[in-house]
């Protein structure tokens, strides 16, 4: 047999590998979560999220500086309010924790693109993502409050609002309220396919947002379902979402791929607290190489079709991209 003209694989040298990468990453596609605690002064490590911090309003600029210093120019803000009540009224207060953080950050760092998580679970005394009627979340009444929260964030300087509540009709409600308030240029990133996941555990610890009773399966998605994610995305897109999201990321790479193929809107994936904690704790136990695991998991999300990624590793990933280890 003449083997002279048989097909050959490229020799996998470093130069060829970089040339032929099918997935390209950029720090521009990374979004870093920042936790702001109204009761805190200074910076305090978050026990459930090794390497992450709570920032007081007096020190939130340090979080921004750390991001920008690594070339991460997009952040998403989560708030821990001083007071909670049945309606979560501190969520839309003019001088609420997020509203104040936004004003401070926008003034000092106009180049930092600020997204806010729009939800009620950090602000309600019962820890559910909306207002209750008979221990059930009242979807339609919740929409008014979510709209109020979004408008107050946008008025305080948010570039984009990200409703993570999973109520029906939330994007339409936010879009109408923002437009009516003259905030047409505020974008909406919808947590469209948000699953009822075990992987939010460390976040709920960090944000003090675990439900006081019951769970979120009444409004978050069933992990058995992928087609349902398409329906959720279609509704949010039709209601005017600028960006769609799948969350968590790693256990839902199939959903990311399908949504990326199916929808024209940009697609965000959220690599959630439990995904971060798995890598951090396995690495701390000496079981895997943290840097490589971080790079490989982030690559898998972009390879599956995500256009952007919210991740607690944003700063370290930006560094890995700069070094050429990925991207």
**Nearest partner of 47 among 203, 188, 267, judged by Cα:** 203
Closest approach, Cβ 284 to ligand PBG, in A, equals 19
Structure tokens at 183: 């905030």
Burial track 2-33 (b if 16+ CB lie within 10 A, e otherwise): eeeeeeeeeeeeeeeeeeeeeeebebebbbbb
84 is known as an active-site residue: no
Closest approach, Cβ 288 to ligand PBG, in A, equals 20
- In the complex with ligand PBG, which residue's Cβ is closer, 101 or 327? 101
89 lies in the site for ligand PBG, by CB under 6 A: no
Name the catalytic one among 84, 106, 247, 315: 247
Element (H, E) at 253: helix 253-262
The helix-helix angle for 314-323 and 290-303 (nearest 10°) equals 90
273 lies in the site for ligand PBG, by CB under 6 A: yes
**Residues 265/187, Cβ–Cβ less than 8 Å:** no
The SS3 call for residue 62 is helix
Binding mask 253-272 for ligand PBG (x = CB under 6 A): -------------------x
99 lies in the site for ligand PBG, by CB under 6 A: no
Please give the backbone phi and psi of residue 133, each rounded to the nearest 5 degrees, phi first.
-135, 120
Select the residue whose beta carbon is closest to ligand PBG and give its number: 203
35 lies in the site for ligand PBG, by CB under 6 A: no
Q: In the window 189-248, what residues touch ligand PBG (CB under 6 A)?
A: 200, 203-204, 209, 216
Active site residues: 194, 247
Residues in contact with ligand PBG by CB under 6 A are: 117, 119, 121, 129, 164, 200, 203-204, 209, 216, 272-273
């Amino acid at each position: 047999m003449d083997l002279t003209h048989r097909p050959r694989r490229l020799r996998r040298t470093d130069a060829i590998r970089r040339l032929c990468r099918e997935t390209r990453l950029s720090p521009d596609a990374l979004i870093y979560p920042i936790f702001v605690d109204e009761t805190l002064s200074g910076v305090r490590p978050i026990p459930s999220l090794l390497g992450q911090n709570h920032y007081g309003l007096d020190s939130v600029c340090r979080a921004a500086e750390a991001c920008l210093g690594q070339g991460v120019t997009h952040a998403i803000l989560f708030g821990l309010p001083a007071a909670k009540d049945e309606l979560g009224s501190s969520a839309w207060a003019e001088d609420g924790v997020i509203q104040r953080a936004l004003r401070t950050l926008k003034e000092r760092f106009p180049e930092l693109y600020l997204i806010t998580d729009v939800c009620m679970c950090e602000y309600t005394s019962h820890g559910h993502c909306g207002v209750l009627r008979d221990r059930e979340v009242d979807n339609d009444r919740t929409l008014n409050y979510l709209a109020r929260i979004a408008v107050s964030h946008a008025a305080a300087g948010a570039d984009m609002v990200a409703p993570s509540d999973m109520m029906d009709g939330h994007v339409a409600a936010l879009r109408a309220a923002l437009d009516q308030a003259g905030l047409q240029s505020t974008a909406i990133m919808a947590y469209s396919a948000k699953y009822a996941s075990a992987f939010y555990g460390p976040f709920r610890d960090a944000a003090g947002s675990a439900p006081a009773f019951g769970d979120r399966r009444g409004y978050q998605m069933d992990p058995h379902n992928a087609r349902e994610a398409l329906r959720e995305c279609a509704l949010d897109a039709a209601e005017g979402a600028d960006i769609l999201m799948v969350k968590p990321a790693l256990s839902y790479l199939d959903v990311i791929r399908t949504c990326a193929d199916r929808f024209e809107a940009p697609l965000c994936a959220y690599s959630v607290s439990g995904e971060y904690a798995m890598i951090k704790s396995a690495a701390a136990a000496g079981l895997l190489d943290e840097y490589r695991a971080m790079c490989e998991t982030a690559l898998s999300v972009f390879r599956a079709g995500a256009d952007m990624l919210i991740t607690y590793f944003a700063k370290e990933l930006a560094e890995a991209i700069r070094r050429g280890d990925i991207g």
